[in-house]
Structure 1
Amino acid sequence: MDHKILQSARELIDEVGYPALTVDQVAARAGVGKAAIYRRYASKAELAFVATLHGQQPPPLADTGSLHGDLLALVRTFHVRMAAPAARHLAPALISELAANPELDTRFQDTFLAAEHADFADIIERAVARGELAGPVDPTLAHLLLLGSLAAALYIINLPVDDTMITDLATAAAAGIAALAARHHSDPDGAAQPR
Protein backbone atom coordinates (compact mmCIF):
# COMPACT_ATOMS: atom_id res chain seq x y z
CA MET A 1 0.00 0.00 0.00
CA ASP A 2 2.82 2.44 0.86
CA HIS A 3 4.37 1.95 -2.57
CA LYS A 4 1.04 2.57 -4.31
CA ILE A 5 0.45 5.78 -2.35
CA LEU A 6 3.91 7.19 -3.07
CA GLN A 7 3.86 6.13 -6.72
CA SER A 8 0.43 7.73 -7.17
CA ALA A 9 1.65 10.94 -5.53
CA ARG A 10 4.73 11.05 -7.82
CA GLU A 11 2.60 10.48 -10.92
CA LEU A 12 0.11 13.17 -9.95
CA ILE A 13 2.81 15.70 -9.10
CA ASP A 14 4.26 15.12 -12.58
CA GLU A 15 0.82 15.44 -14.17
CA VAL A 16 -0.80 18.33 -12.29
CA GLY A 17 2.03 19.89 -10.28
CA TYR A 18 2.33 20.20 -6.53
CA PRO A 19 0.00 23.22 -6.05
CA ALA A 20 -2.92 21.40 -7.74
CA LEU A 21 -2.26 18.08 -6.02
CA THR A 22 -4.87 16.91 -3.51
CA VAL A 23 -4.87 14.02 -1.07
CA ASP A 24 -8.23 12.98 -2.56
CA GLN A 25 -6.56 12.54 -5.96
CA VAL A 26 -3.77 10.45 -4.47
CA ALA A 27 -6.25 8.28 -2.56
CA ALA A 28 -8.35 7.68 -5.68
CA ARG A 29 -5.30 6.87 -7.84
CA ALA A 30 -3.84 4.52 -5.19
CA GLY A 31 -7.20 2.89 -4.49
CA VAL A 32 -7.09 3.65 -0.77
CA GLY A 33 -9.04 5.83 1.63
CA LYS A 34 -7.80 9.27 2.67
CA ALA A 35 -7.52 8.01 6.24
CA ALA A 36 -4.88 5.50 5.13
CA ILE A 37 -2.80 8.36 3.75
CA TYR A 38 -3.22 10.59 6.81
CA ARG A 39 -2.19 7.71 9.10
CA ARG A 40 1.16 7.76 7.30
CA TYR A 41 1.63 11.44 6.44
CA ALA A 42 0.53 14.48 8.44
CA SER A 43 -0.04 16.69 5.42
CA LYS A 44 0.01 16.95 1.64
CA ALA A 45 3.47 18.53 1.86
CA GLU A 46 4.87 15.64 3.89
CA LEU A 47 3.38 13.11 1.48
CA ALA A 48 4.82 14.94 -1.51
CA PHE A 49 8.19 15.31 0.20
CA VAL A 50 8.43 11.60 0.89
CA ALA A 51 7.27 10.75 -2.62
CA THR A 52 9.67 13.07 -4.42
CA LEU A 53 12.74 13.28 -2.18
CA HIS A 54 12.84 10.60 0.50
CA GLY A 55 10.46 7.91 -0.64
CA GLN A 56 12.95 6.31 -2.99
CA GLN A 57 15.80 4.38 -1.46
CA PRO A 58 19.08 6.17 -2.06
CA PRO A 59 22.07 4.11 -3.13
CA PRO A 60 24.24 2.86 -0.29
CA LEU A 61 26.50 5.52 1.18
CA ALA A 62 29.68 5.62 -0.92
CA ASP A 63 33.03 4.92 0.70
CA THR A 64 35.41 6.54 -1.78
CA GLY A 65 38.42 6.51 0.52
CA SER A 66 38.45 10.26 1.16
CA LEU A 67 36.35 12.85 2.94
CA HIS A 68 36.04 14.96 -0.20
CA GLY A 69 35.08 11.96 -2.32
CA ASP A 70 32.44 10.80 0.16
CA LEU A 71 30.92 14.30 0.40
CA LEU A 72 30.97 14.66 -3.38
CA ALA A 73 29.17 11.34 -3.87
CA LEU A 74 26.58 12.31 -1.26
CA VAL A 75 25.90 15.79 -2.65
CA ARG A 76 25.59 14.43 -6.20
CA THR A 77 22.93 11.98 -5.00
CA PHE A 78 21.01 14.72 -3.22
CA HIS A 79 21.35 17.13 -6.13
CA VAL A 80 19.49 14.75 -8.44
CA ARG A 81 16.54 14.69 -6.04
CA MET A 82 16.62 18.30 -4.89
CA ALA A 83 16.93 19.79 -8.39
CA ALA A 84 13.92 17.92 -9.78
CA PRO A 85 11.07 20.26 -10.77
CA ALA A 86 8.70 18.72 -8.21
CA ALA A 87 11.21 19.26 -5.41
CA ARG A 88 11.73 22.90 -6.44
CA HIS A 89 7.97 23.49 -6.13
CA LEU A 90 7.62 21.48 -2.96
CA ALA A 91 10.48 22.82 -0.82
CA PRO A 92 8.92 26.25 -0.07
CA ALA A 93 5.58 24.65 0.84
CA LEU A 94 7.25 22.14 3.15
CA ILE A 95 9.35 24.82 4.85
CA SER A 96 6.20 26.86 5.44
CA GLU A 97 4.36 23.88 6.92
CA LEU A 98 7.31 22.98 9.16
CA ALA A 99 7.34 26.52 10.55
CA ALA A 100 3.61 26.44 11.30
CA ASN A 101 3.30 22.86 12.55
CA PRO A 102 5.58 21.85 15.47
CA GLU A 103 4.39 18.23 15.32
CA LEU A 104 5.30 17.94 11.63
CA ASP A 105 8.63 19.64 12.33
CA THR A 106 9.39 17.09 15.04
CA ARG A 107 8.53 14.20 12.69
CA PHE A 108 10.72 15.73 9.97
CA GLN A 109 13.63 16.15 12.41
CA ASP A 110 13.26 12.65 13.85
CA THR A 111 12.97 10.82 10.52
CA PHE A 112 14.36 12.49 7.40
CA LEU A 113 16.92 14.77 8.98
CA ALA A 114 18.03 12.11 11.45
CA ALA A 115 18.76 9.75 8.54
CA GLU A 116 20.76 12.43 6.75
CA HIS A 117 22.69 13.26 9.91
CA ALA A 118 23.50 9.56 10.31
CA ASP A 119 25.03 9.57 6.82
CA PHE A 120 27.20 12.55 7.76
CA ALA A 121 28.18 10.88 11.04
CA ASP A 122 29.34 7.81 9.09
CA ILE A 123 31.35 9.94 6.64
CA ILE A 124 32.99 11.85 9.49
CA GLU A 125 33.75 8.68 11.46
CA ARG A 126 35.49 7.17 8.42
CA ALA A 127 37.49 10.36 7.84
CA VAL A 128 38.62 10.37 11.49
CA ALA A 129 39.60 6.69 11.23
CA ARG A 130 41.64 7.43 8.08
CA GLY A 131 43.40 10.31 9.84
CA GLU A 132 41.90 12.97 7.56
CA LEU A 133 40.22 14.73 10.46
CA ALA A 134 41.78 15.62 13.80
CA GLY A 135 38.64 14.47 15.56
CA PRO A 136 34.87 14.21 15.18
CA VAL A 137 32.65 17.09 14.09
CA ASP A 138 28.96 17.56 14.81
CA PRO A 139 27.18 15.94 11.83
CA THR A 140 24.58 18.72 11.96
CA LEU A 141 27.26 21.28 11.08
CA ALA A 142 28.57 19.08 8.27
CA HIS A 143 25.00 18.69 6.98
CA LEU A 144 24.51 22.46 7.08
CA LEU A 145 27.79 23.15 5.28
CA LEU A 146 27.03 20.82 2.38
CA LEU A 147 23.30 20.23 1.92
CA GLY A 148 22.31 23.57 3.44
CA SER A 149 24.41 25.29 0.82
CA LEU A 150 22.90 23.16 -1.94
CA ALA A 151 19.37 23.93 -0.74
CA ALA A 152 20.12 27.66 -0.62
CA ALA A 153 21.56 27.57 -4.13
CA LEU A 154 18.56 25.71 -5.55
CA TYR A 155 15.63 27.13 -3.59
CA ILE A 156 16.62 30.62 -2.43
CA ILE A 157 19.26 32.04 -4.77
CA ASN A 158 17.96 30.02 -7.77
CA LEU A 159 21.41 29.32 -9.16
CA PRO A 160 21.97 26.95 -12.05
CA VAL A 161 23.75 24.19 -10.13
CA ASP A 162 26.03 22.11 -12.34
CA ASP A 163 28.67 19.51 -11.52
CA THR A 164 31.39 22.16 -11.21
CA MET A 165 29.41 23.93 -8.49
CA ILE A 166 28.62 20.60 -6.81
CA THR A 167 32.33 19.76 -6.75
CA ASP A 168 33.10 23.22 -5.34
CA LEU A 169 30.46 22.74 -2.63
CA ALA A 170 32.00 19.40 -1.65
CA THR A 171 35.49 20.97 -1.60
CA ALA A 172 34.33 23.87 0.57
CA ALA A 173 32.43 21.56 2.92
CA ALA A 174 35.43 19.22 3.27
CA ALA A 175 37.70 22.18 4.08
CA GLY A 176 35.17 23.56 6.56
CA ILE A 177 34.72 20.21 8.28
CA ALA A 178 38.51 19.75 8.50
CA ALA A 179 38.90 23.26 9.95
CA LEU A 180 36.19 22.61 12.54
CA ALA A 181 37.76 19.30 13.51
CA ALA A 182 41.18 20.93 13.90
CA ARG A 183 39.70 23.79 15.94
CA HIS A 184 37.70 21.54 18.23
CA HIS A 185 40.50 18.99 18.61
CA SER A 186 43.14 21.59 19.51
CA ASP A 187 40.98 23.02 22.32
CA PRO A 188 37.62 21.67 23.48
CA ASP A 189 36.49 25.26 24.15
CA GLY A 190 37.15 26.19 20.52
CA ALA A 191 40.26 28.36 20.83
CA ALA A 192 43.32 27.19 18.93
CA GLN A 193 46.27 26.23 21.11
CA PRO A 194 49.63 27.95 20.47
CA ARG A 195 52.18 25.70 18.83
Structure 2
Amino acid sequence: MSLAGSRPRPDTPARGRPRSEAVERAILEGVMRLLEDGVPLAELSIERIARTAGVGKAAIYRRWSGKEELLVDVVRAAEPPEPELPGTSMRDDLLALLENLRQRALASRSSALLHNAHTQMKTSPRIWTAYHENVIAPRRRQVLDVLRRGQRDGELRADVDVELANDLFVGPLLVRAVLRPEAELPEGLAEQIVDMVLAGLRPVSSTAS
Protein backbone atom coordinates (compact mmCIF):
# COMPACT_ATOMS: atom_id res chain seq x y z
CA MET A 1 0.00 0.00 0.00
CA SER A 2 1.35 3.41 -0.92
CA LEU A 3 0.69 6.76 0.67
CA ALA A 4 0.03 10.01 -1.13
CA GLY A 5 1.52 11.75 1.89
CA SER A 6 2.05 11.02 5.54
CA ARG A 7 -0.81 11.81 7.88
CA PRO A 8 -0.07 14.92 9.97
CA ARG A 9 -0.08 14.46 13.72
CA PRO A 10 -0.97 17.90 15.15
CA ASP A 11 -0.79 16.70 18.76
CA THR A 12 2.76 15.37 18.43
CA PRO A 13 5.49 17.91 19.16
CA ALA A 14 8.38 18.19 16.73
CA ARG A 15 11.59 16.51 17.82
CA GLY A 16 15.08 17.02 16.45
CA ARG A 17 15.62 18.17 12.92
CA PRO A 18 12.73 19.16 10.63
CA ARG A 19 10.89 16.21 9.13
CA SER A 20 11.46 15.10 5.55
CA GLU A 21 8.09 14.02 4.18
CA ALA A 22 9.79 11.58 1.81
CA VAL A 23 11.64 9.88 4.67
CA GLU A 24 8.53 9.71 6.83
CA ARG A 25 6.55 8.27 3.93
CA ALA A 26 9.28 5.67 3.29
CA ILE A 27 9.16 4.58 6.93
CA LEU A 28 5.37 4.26 7.00
CA GLU A 29 5.33 2.36 3.71
CA GLY A 30 8.14 0.13 4.94
CA VAL A 31 6.05 -0.93 7.94
CA MET A 32 3.06 -1.46 5.66
CA ARG A 33 5.09 -3.76 3.41
CA LEU A 34 6.20 -5.81 6.38
CA LEU A 35 2.64 -6.12 7.69
CA GLU A 36 1.32 -7.04 4.24
CA ASP A 37 4.01 -9.73 4.05
CA GLY A 38 2.60 -11.21 7.24
CA VAL A 39 5.33 -10.16 9.66
CA PRO A 40 3.86 -10.27 13.20
CA LEU A 41 3.90 -7.05 15.20
CA ALA A 42 6.14 -8.69 17.78
CA GLU A 43 8.82 -9.12 15.11
CA LEU A 44 8.68 -5.54 13.83
CA SER A 45 11.83 -4.21 15.43
CA ILE A 46 13.06 -0.69 14.76
CA GLU A 47 16.13 -2.24 13.12
CA ARG A 48 14.02 -4.29 10.71
CA ILE A 49 11.78 -1.35 9.89
CA ALA A 50 14.83 0.84 9.20
CA ARG A 51 16.34 -1.75 6.84
CA THR A 52 13.07 -2.16 4.95
CA ALA A 53 12.56 1.60 4.61
CA GLY A 54 16.19 2.21 3.66
CA VAL A 55 16.79 4.68 6.48
CA GLY A 56 18.81 4.76 9.68
CA LYS A 57 17.29 4.00 13.07
CA ALA A 58 17.91 7.62 14.08
CA ALA A 59 15.52 8.78 11.33
CA ILE A 60 12.76 6.76 12.99
CA TYR A 61 13.51 7.89 16.52
CA ARG A 62 13.51 11.54 15.42
CA ARG A 63 9.89 11.10 14.39
CA TRP A 64 8.49 8.53 16.82
CA SER A 65 9.36 7.75 20.42
CA GLY A 66 9.10 4.02 19.77
CA LYS A 67 7.43 1.19 17.88
CA GLU A 68 4.04 1.69 19.52
CA GLU A 69 3.70 5.30 18.38
CA LEU A 70 4.93 4.41 14.88
CA LEU A 71 2.46 1.54 14.47
CA VAL A 72 -0.43 3.76 15.55
CA ASP A 73 0.48 6.21 12.78
CA VAL A 74 0.80 3.38 10.24
CA VAL A 75 -2.72 2.16 10.97
CA ARG A 76 -4.09 5.71 11.04
CA ALA A 77 -2.46 6.42 7.66
CA ALA A 78 -3.98 3.27 6.16
CA GLU A 79 -7.49 4.14 7.36
CA PRO A 80 -9.80 6.63 5.63
CA PRO A 81 -8.95 10.20 6.70
CA GLU A 82 -10.83 11.83 9.53
CA PRO A 83 -13.97 13.64 8.32
CA GLU A 84 -14.49 17.37 8.20
CA LEU A 85 -17.68 18.15 10.09
CA PRO A 86 -20.12 20.43 8.27
CA GLY A 87 -21.12 22.15 11.53
CA THR A 88 -24.60 22.92 10.18
CA SER A 89 -26.46 20.79 12.74
CA MET A 90 -25.95 17.98 15.20
CA ARG A 91 -27.56 15.56 12.75
CA ASP A 92 -25.26 16.56 9.90
CA ASP A 93 -22.18 16.19 12.08
CA LEU A 94 -23.33 12.80 13.35
CA LEU A 95 -23.91 11.67 9.77
CA ALA A 96 -20.36 12.65 8.82
CA LEU A 97 -18.89 10.82 11.82
CA LEU A 98 -20.91 7.63 11.36
CA GLU A 99 -20.29 7.55 7.62
CA ASN A 100 -16.57 7.77 8.36
CA LEU A 101 -16.93 4.87 10.80
CA ARG A 102 -18.73 2.87 8.09
CA GLN A 103 -15.92 3.62 5.64
CA ARG A 104 -13.32 2.52 8.19
CA ALA A 105 -15.21 -0.73 8.76
CA LEU A 106 -15.30 -1.36 5.01
CA ALA A 107 -11.59 -0.61 4.75
CA SER A 108 -10.81 -3.04 7.55
CA ARG A 109 -12.78 -5.75 5.74
CA SER A 110 -11.09 -5.16 2.39
CA SER A 111 -7.55 -4.47 3.61
CA ALA A 112 -5.52 -7.42 4.85
CA LEU A 113 -3.10 -4.94 6.40
CA LEU A 114 -5.76 -3.22 8.49
CA HIS A 115 -7.50 -6.46 9.43
CA ASN A 116 -4.29 -8.09 10.56
CA ALA A 117 -3.01 -4.96 12.31
CA HIS A 118 -6.24 -4.44 14.25
CA THR A 119 -6.32 -8.11 15.26
CA GLN A 120 -2.69 -8.14 16.38
CA MET A 121 -2.87 -4.80 18.18
CA LYS A 122 -5.44 -6.24 20.58
CA THR A 123 -2.93 -8.91 21.62
CA SER A 124 -0.31 -6.29 22.48
CA PRO A 125 -1.40 -4.24 25.52
CA ARG A 126 1.16 -1.48 24.90
CA ILE A 127 0.26 -1.02 21.22
CA TRP A 128 -3.49 -1.28 21.88
CA THR A 129 -3.23 1.27 24.70
CA ALA A 130 -1.34 3.66 22.41
CA TYR A 131 -3.94 3.21 19.64
CA HIS A 132 -6.81 3.70 22.07
CA GLU A 133 -5.32 6.85 23.61
CA ASN A 134 -4.30 8.45 20.30
CA VAL A 135 -7.07 7.33 17.93
CA ILE A 136 -10.13 5.76 19.57
CA ALA A 137 -10.47 8.10 22.54
CA PRO A 138 -10.24 11.32 20.46
CA ARG A 139 -12.89 9.96 18.07
CA ARG A 140 -15.21 9.22 20.98
CA ARG A 141 -14.64 12.70 22.43
CA GLN A 142 -15.54 14.18 19.06
CA VAL A 143 -18.92 12.43 19.05
CA LEU A 144 -19.54 13.49 22.65
CA ASP A 145 -18.71 17.10 21.77
CA VAL A 146 -21.24 17.00 18.92
CA LEU A 147 -23.91 15.59 21.24
CA ARG A 148 -23.23 18.21 23.91
CA ARG A 149 -23.52 20.99 21.33
CA GLY A 150 -26.79 19.40 20.25
CA GLN A 151 -28.08 19.61 23.80
CA ARG A 152 -26.92 23.20 24.10
CA ASP A 153 -28.68 24.12 20.84
CA GLY A 154 -31.91 22.29 21.67
CA GLU A 155 -31.43 19.49 19.11
CA LEU A 156 -31.11 16.86 21.84
CA ARG A 157 -33.17 16.49 25.01
CA ALA A 158 -31.48 17.95 28.07
CA ASP A 159 -32.06 14.77 30.09
CA VAL A 160 -30.21 12.52 27.62
CA ASP A 161 -27.04 10.85 28.91
CA VAL A 162 -24.60 11.74 26.12
CA GLU A 163 -22.23 8.90 27.06
CA LEU A 164 -25.03 6.39 26.56
CA ALA A 165 -26.26 8.22 23.46
CA ASN A 166 -22.79 7.89 21.94
CA ASP A 167 -23.02 4.12 22.35
CA LEU A 168 -26.47 4.09 20.78
CA PHE A 169 -25.16 5.85 17.67
CA VAL A 170 -21.90 3.99 17.12
CA GLY A 171 -22.99 0.63 18.55
CA PRO A 172 -24.86 -0.68 15.48
CA LEU A 173 -21.88 -0.04 13.21
CA LEU A 174 -19.44 -1.59 15.66
CA VAL A 175 -21.65 -4.67 15.98
CA ARG A 176 -21.60 -5.14 12.22
CA ALA A 177 -17.91 -4.38 11.96
CA VAL A 178 -16.74 -6.60 14.83
CA LEU A 179 -19.39 -9.09 15.91
CA ARG A 180 -21.16 -9.63 12.59
CA PRO A 181 -18.48 -9.45 9.89
CA GLU A 182 -20.87 -11.07 7.42
CA ALA A 183 -23.43 -8.26 7.82
CA GLU A 184 -23.70 -5.65 5.08
CA LEU A 185 -22.53 -2.06 5.50
CA PRO A 186 -24.55 -0.45 2.72
CA GLU A 187 -24.65 3.19 1.68
CA GLY A 188 -27.28 5.04 3.67
CA LEU A 189 -26.72 2.95 6.79
CA ALA A 190 -25.26 5.88 8.73
CA GLU A 191 -28.28 8.05 7.92
CA GLN A 192 -30.65 5.25 8.89
CA ILE A 193 -28.97 4.80 12.28
CA VAL A 194 -28.78 8.53 13.04
CA ASP A 195 -32.43 9.17 12.21
CA MET A 196 -33.71 6.11 14.10
CA VAL A 197 -31.81 7.04 17.26
CA LEU A 198 -32.62 10.74 17.02
CA ALA A 199 -36.32 9.92 16.71
CA GLY A 200 -36.23 8.94 20.38
CA LEU A 201 -33.78 11.54 21.63
CA ARG A 202 -34.99 14.80 20.14
CA PRO A 203 -37.04 17.25 22.20
CA VAL A 204 -40.73 16.57 21.71
CA SER A 205 -41.29 19.95 20.05
CA SER A 206 -38.36 19.46 17.63
CA THR A 207 -39.08 18.60 14.03
CA ALA A 208 -36.96 16.27 11.94
CA SER A 209 -34.24 17.85 9.81
The TM-score with structure 1 as length reference comes to 0.65
Q: Which amino acid aligns with 1:120?
A: V
1:80 matches 2:103:
yes
CA contact (8 A) 2:69 2:130 kept: no
CA distance in 2, matches of 1:33, 1:107: 21
RMSD of aligned C-alpha atoms?
3.7
The CA distance in 1 between the partners of 2:172 and 2:163, in whole Å, is 13
Contact 1:118 1:139 in 2 (8 A): no
1:162 aligns with 2:186: yes
Partner of 2:66: 40
Among residues 22, 27, 31, which one is paired with 1:9 in the alignment? 31
Cα distance in structure 2, aligned partners of 1:141 and 1:2 = 39
Please give the per-residue CA displacement for 1:140-180, whole angstroms capped at 9, x wherever unaligned: 4344333333222023201120113232222344346x27x
After superposition, residues 147-186 of structure 1 pair within 5 angstroms as 147-158=170-181, 159-175=183-199, 178=201
Q: Is 1:112 matched up with 2:152?
A: no
1:130 paired residue among 140, 144, 153: 153
Deviation, structure 1 residue 115:
0.9
Contact 1:124 1:139 (C-alpha < 8 Å) held by counterparts: yes
For 1:42, the aligned partner's letter is E
SS of match in other structure, 2:123: helix
Which whole-Å CA distance do the structure 2 matches of 1:26 and 1:60 have between them? 32
Letter in 2 for 1:166: A
Within 1, Cα distance between the matches of 2:155 and 2:94? 13
Q: Specify the code of the residue in structure 1 equivalent to 2:195.
A: T
Deviation of 1:128 after TM superposition, in Å, equals 1.6
Cα pair distance change 1:148/1:46, threshold 3 Å: farther
Is residue 83–residue 96 contact of structure 2 (8 Å, CA) maintained in 1? Answer: no
Name the residue aligned to 1:94. Answer: 121
1:69 and 2:92 aligned: yes
Runs of 4+ in 1 over 6 A off after TM superposition: none
Secondary structure (helix, strand or coil) at the match of 2:84 reads coil
Task: Give the unaligned 5+ runs of structure 2.
Answer: 1-22, 205-209
1:111-141 per-position Cα deviation (integer Å, ceiling 9, x unaligned): 2233112211221122123211122755543
Q: Which is richer in helix?
A: 1
Comparing 81-90 with 149-158, greater Cα deviation is found at: 81-90
Instruction: Return 5+ residue gaps in structure 1 as ranges.
Output: 183-195
Is the contact between residue 68 and residue 170 of structure 1 (CA under 8 Å) also seen in structure 2?
yes
Match of 2:4 in 1: none
